[in-house]
């Protein structure tokens, strides 16, 4: 298998397999969570659960002063790499084309050097959070192999994408192939690791807020 065969394979059958596992896993897990259901609460509601839920979704974007001072690195660097990932994944022209081909619609892209700068900042932020995780005794104690897997499958696509764009180390074809392959690994493990929080984060925020809202408590 030469470079071109490899690139064709990752763009063809491998992508289809990865996309299938990702979509099926994603839907399966969301369906499972939602179908669990909750017992009907017969108590007289003291507030609007929907309002409480929606408020909580937005309220948790912020953080209280004490928590911020205690976990400054986690919060600031966490925000940096999440925003960076959003920009890199959704606003690079080449990526918009992929979404367009899969979903049938696209959106405007940012200029490539801007996305490139975001990619560099994101990679640095990811390295910082990894070092922080390894050096912080409590964080290290709480970390499972799953946490490191989630970190690696997020970091490697960024690195290979950056190297493919800048023609570093290997031929662009090979690097592009490796980049797409690393994204496919990400897609496959996505529904079965904590990366699933991308889709459950607002769900759980809403759930917490709604249960408080029902009780008339400001969460």
Partner 1 sequence: MRMQSPNPYEPTLGEHLRSQGISRRGFLKFCGLLASSMALAPAMIPKIAAALEQAKRPSVIWLSFQECTGCTESLTRSHSPSLEGLVFDAISLDYHHTLQAASGDAAEHAREEAMKEHYGKYVLVVDGSIPLDNPGYSTIAGISNLDMLKEAAAGAAAIIAVGTCAAYGGLPKADPNPTGAVSVSDIIKDKPIINVPGCPPIPMVITGVIAHFLTFGLPELDSLGRPKAFYGQSIHDRCYRRPFYERGLFAETFDDEGAKAGWCLYKLGCKGPVTYNACATTKWNDGTSFPIESGHGCIGCSEPNFWDFGGFYKAISIPTGASGKNAVYAAAAGIAAGVAIGAMNKKSKAEAASSHQTVTVEELNQESGS
DSSP 216: T
| From 43-51, 67-75, 136-144, 164-172, span contacting partner 1 (CB under 8 A) | 164-172
Judged by CB under 8 A, the chain residues 94 through 153 that form the site for partner 1 are: 94-95, 97-98, 100-104, 109-115
- Does residue 140 contact residue 134 with C-beta atoms inside 8 Å? yes
Residue 43: phi and psi, rounded to 5, are: -65, 150
DSSP string, 48-102: -HHHHHHHHHHHTTS--HHHHHHTHHHHHHHHHHHHHHHHHHHHSHHHHHHHHHH
* Contact with partner 1 (CB under 8 A) among 167, 194, 197, 218: 167
- Does residue 1 contact residue 9 with C-beta atoms inside 8 Å? yes
Residue 12: phi and psi, rounded to 5, are: -100, -105
CB of 28 to partner 1, least distance (A): 4
End-to-end CA distance of the chain: 57
40 binds partner 1 (CB under 8 A): no
* Contact with partner 1 (CB under 8 A) among 76, 93, 131, 201: 93
171 binds partner 1 (CB under 8 A): yes
76 binds partner 1 (CB under 8 A): no
The total number of residues written for the chain in this structure: 219
Nearer to partner 1, 54 or 159 (CB): 159
Nearer to partner 1, 21 or 185 (CB): 21
List residues near partner 1 by CB under 8 A.
2-5, 7-8, 11-13, 15-16, 19-32, 35-36, 93-95, 97-98, 100-104, 109-115, 167, 171-173, 176
């Amino acid at each position: 298998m030469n470079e071109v065969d490899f690139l064709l394979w990752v763009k063809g059958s491998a992508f289809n397999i990865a996309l299938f596992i990702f979509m099926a896993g994603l839907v399966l897990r969301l369906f499972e969570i939602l179908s669990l259901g909750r017992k009907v609460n017969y108590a007289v509601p003291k507030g609007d659960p929907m309002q409480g839920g929606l408020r909580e979704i937005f309220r948790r974007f912020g953080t209280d002063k004490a928590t911020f001072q205690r976990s400054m690195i986690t919060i600031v660097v966490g925000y940096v790499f999440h925003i960076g990932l959003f920009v890199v994944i959704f606003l690079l022209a080449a990526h918009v084309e992929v979404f367009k081909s899969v979903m049938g619609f696209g959106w405007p892209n940012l200029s490539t050097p801007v996305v490139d700068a975001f990619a560099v900042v994101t990679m640095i932020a990811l390295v910082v959070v990894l070092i922080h995780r390894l050096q912080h005794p409590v964080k290290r104690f709480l970390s499972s192999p799953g946490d490191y897997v989630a970190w690696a499958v997020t970091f490697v696509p960024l690195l290979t994408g950056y190297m493919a764009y800048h023609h570093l180390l290997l031929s662009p074809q090979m690097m592009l192939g490796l980049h797409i392959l690393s994204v496919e690994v990400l897609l496959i493990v996505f529904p079965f690791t904590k990366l699933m929080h991308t889709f459950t984060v607002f769900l759980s925020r809403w759930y917490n807020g709604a249960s408080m809202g029902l009780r008339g408590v400001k969460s």
